[in-house]
Amino acid sequence: MELSEIYKPIKKELEEVEHLISKITENSPSLREELKTIFSAKGKRIRPALLLFIAKHYGVKGEIPIWLAVAVELLHTASLIHDDVVDNATLRRGKPSFHKFWGSDLTVLLGDYLYVKAVHLVLKSANPYIIRALSKSASKMVEGEIEEIKKRGDLDLKIEEYFSILEKKTASLFAASAEIGGLLGNASEAELKALKNFGNNIGISFQLIDDLLDIISTEAELGKPTLSDLKEKKPTLPFIYLLRKDKKNIKEKIRWVFEDGDFIRVKKEEMVKLVLNNGAKDFTLRKAKHFTKKAIESLKILEPSPFVESLNNLARYIVSRRW
Ligand code: FPP
Ligand code: MG
């Protein structure tokens, strides 16, 4: 199912999200152009959608879910532009990454601005549990990103270390978005736990697919160069799998890319083939599907509703997406 189809039940709310993002942009005179540039390259809005579906499941009305949906999107956007500085990435969403275009100085400050705007919006909810959920996830994201930096170039990265990074840098914001939806709806303790599990598991699945697409997709489809994780010295699950199987001198080949920071002694195509032909793609996909299944199972304790079905569709989309 296409994302636009899945989003139909929250079409109005997502339009309000876009409207508020435009309003924030218009009301930021010194950064207006930059914010317009950032938000014109439209993302998938998965985190806002997650929060909104859950809020709708509990029948929450009014502006607060919109403010919070925007807050998680601003936090996500800030983390991406900062991540591109950290990773020295060249492209994002089919355009030059923000820092390549505007410079790292502006990018750092713009990210800061978006973080602070997100905090303003969350404070408007006046709910300490919501404030705590988002700030905990923000610190986890930083920890994940730092763990990843510290493990750069480590050919012996353990699978548990990889999952720890991925859960913190990516899944924590999915988990917080889901939790916030539940907190808005006065969900029970057990439901909150289920919602957090759902967010965490689809977040893990999202990043596993992100790491797989980085290898097997195309630049046109992804809007960013392929095999950038290897260039950034990050061994992701498909390569960790091959390293563990000790396939076809894989360690030496990855080391070459890490040392050269590019595909000089080994071609990109060869690395892609290794992933496709030695079970690494299937292994990663199986893992992603496993987390999707866990996510869907965790929602079984909720009262059935069309919005729970939308959440299940979102989980299925994440594991079958092409970009
Ligand atoms: C993308 O990973 C990056 C993230 C999911 C998180 C980045 C987090 C930070 C920069 C810290 C956030 C700080 C605060 C205050 C919340 P990736 O590089 O694997 O994906 P990519 O291929 O899309 O770049
Ligand atoms: Mg990155």
Task: Report how far residue 178's alpha carbon sits from residue 162's, in angstroms, rounded to the nearest whole number.
Answer: 23
Q: How far is the CA of 308 from the centre of ligand 2 (A)?
A: 31
Burial group, residue 115, by CB count within 10 angstroms (0-12, 13-18, 19+): middle
Do the beta carbons of residue 185 and residue 55 sit within 8 Å?
yes
Position 92 scores a pLDDT of 86
Q: Which residues surround ligand 2, an ion (CB under 5 A)?
A: 83, 87
The domains of the chain, with CATH numbers, are 3-320 (1.10.600.10)
Neighbouring C-beta atoms of residue 128, cutoff 10 Å: 9
| Protein residue with least CA distance to atom 8, ligand 1 | 79
pLDDT tens digits, 63-87: 999 999 999 999 999 999 999 999 9
- Model confidence, pTM: 0.97
Q: How far is the CA of 87 from the centre of ligand 2 (A)?
A: 5
What stretches in the chain show pLDDT beneath 50?
A: none
Q: What share of the chain is helix, strand, coil (3-state, %, to 5)?
A: 75, 0, 20
pLDDT tens digits, 206-216: 999 999 999 99
Position in ligand 1 atom list of the atom nearest CA 211:
19
Neighbouring C-beta atoms of residue 214, cutoff 10 Å: 21
Position 323 scores a pLDDT of 74
| Protein residue with least CA distance to atom 9, ligand 1 | 79
Position 132 scores a pLDDT of 97
91, 169, 233: residue to mutate for ligand 1 pocket, most atoms within 8 A of CB: 169
Ligand nearest to the CA of 204: 1
Q: Is 147 in the pocket of ligand 1 (CB under 6 A)?
A: no
Q: How far is the CA of 116 from the centre of ligand 1 (A)?
A: 17
